[in-house]
A and B are shown apart, each in its own frame.
Chain A
Amino acid sequence: MSEERAQDGEAVVRAVEAVAERIETERAHLTDLDSAIGDADHGGNMARGWAAAAEAARELDDPDPQTVCKTVGKTLMAEVGGASGPLFGGSLVFASADLDDGVTAESAVAFAETYLQKVEDRGDARVGDQTMVDALTPAVHTFKKSIETDDLAPLEALAKAVDAAERGVAFTVPIRARKGRASYLGWRSVGHQDPGATSTLFILEEVLATAADALGTDVPDVDATSPTIPDADGDSVEGDGADPAAEDDD
């Protein structure tokens, strides 16, 4: 294993530790959010799962990024005991395949897209269902666009993605839940912030903070909005999020 990949792996372990610490700190908060519209187990399940995941990651002999992600995912699946196991853990195991050659801007985009796809498939949820997909989708789209179209530095792209996730979390408040336990409440779910979207944001915030720390720099002060007017000919992003302006050119 290259020295660079070993350093990246150690940074991923530190990110997992930071997430575990953050989730433990936010445990009561997450449980409160889940008590309002769900089964009040999100804080406890996530705290237990991430604590075990951090321990498993720390015990790895030669942690490379892919192995750390896979180990964390498997541990979450085994320890969480709720929907967060397959959603956070299963998706992590699946997406870790994209880190075969380590963490690059390109592989990070692929990882993010695979992770989102797996969460959507497993939970059968789309944007607007008041789930973690509402935080993940803007984060992944913003990250991909920032890297592939705007050619931003990965840390800046990640900072924009975190701001996008924050907006997604806010979006879960005024909409009706269509998936998950909250959907049983029907219209009474309106006005409540989704716990899974919230913990997704916490995870992304810790990954960003750890990445900035690993690069020896501060977290960039950016937001998800783009100051530039899109160039109709500049449709270099493939896949979802088709640019209607580009189609009009045909």
Chain B
Amino acid sequence: MVGLVVVSHSERAAEGIVEVAAEMAGDTRLEAVGGDGKGGIGTVPDAIGDAIDAADDGDGVVVLVDLGSAVMNADVAVELSDAEAVIADAPVLEGAVNAAVAATDPSATLDSVREQAEAARGMEKL
């Protein structure tokens, strides 16, 4: 099953987004990671790498990210990871919910889950 990692500058934001996405996620592995590792705001590649490993069961991992350094640090983590991981170019919360739903599809692949996450870019609310 494709796993998901949510990366935010704020650990609490990442956990909150995972909480929202988990409602629709069935058995999907969802990992939240965020913060500078010292209680502050930021992102660290090693921690993101650990979250990718935890979310991977062999079918790959889609990584959702918030801003700037989260993208770059996730990029580094993906490069260094042994797992097959991709970053979704998507809004982090809406993308995570979409990806969680897509991952529960029995025919889901890494690409299909990433595409569904990225489909959240065009989501209209009003």
Contacts and interface: CB of A to CB of B under 8 A. Distances in A.
A180 to B, nearest CB: 6
A77 interface: yes
A114 to B, nearest CB: 16
B74 to A, nearest CB: 9
A122 interface: yes
B42 A81 contact: yes
A116 B73 CA distance: 18
B72 A81 contact: no
Contact of B41 (A39, A80, A83): A39
B125 interface: no
Contact of A45 (B42, B46, B76): B42
Nearest to B45: A77
Contacts of B72: 83, 85-87, 90, 122-123
Interface stretch (B32-40, B92-100, B116-124): B32-40
Interface residues of A, number: 18
A85 B47 CA distance: 13
Given A81-B38, A90-B76, A181 B68 contact: yes
B75 interface: yes
B69 A85 contact: yes
Contacts of A78: 44-46
Taking residues whose C-beta sits less than 8 angstroms from the other chain, chain B's interface range is: 10 to 19
Interface string A63-99: 0000000000000011011111111001000000000
A32 interface: no
B45 A86 contact: yes
B43 interface: yes
A86 B46 contact: no
A45 B36 CA distance: 9
Contacts, number: 53
A39 B75 CA distance: 21
Interface string B33-68: 001111011111110000000000000000000011
Contacts of A39: 41
B69 A86 contact: yes
A82 B75 contact: no
A82 B45 contact: no
A17 B44 CA distance: 23
A82 B42 contact: yes
B120 to A, nearest CB: 20
A41 B76 contact: no
Contacts of A86: 45, 69, 72-73, 75-76
- Nearest first, the 7 closest Cβ-Cβ pairs linking A and B are A81-B36, A81-B42, A83-B69, A86-B72, A82-B69, A86-B76, A82-B42
Given A78-B45, A81-B40, A122-B72, 7 more contacts: A81-B35, A81-B44, A82-B43, A86-B45, A86-B69, A90-B72, A181-B68
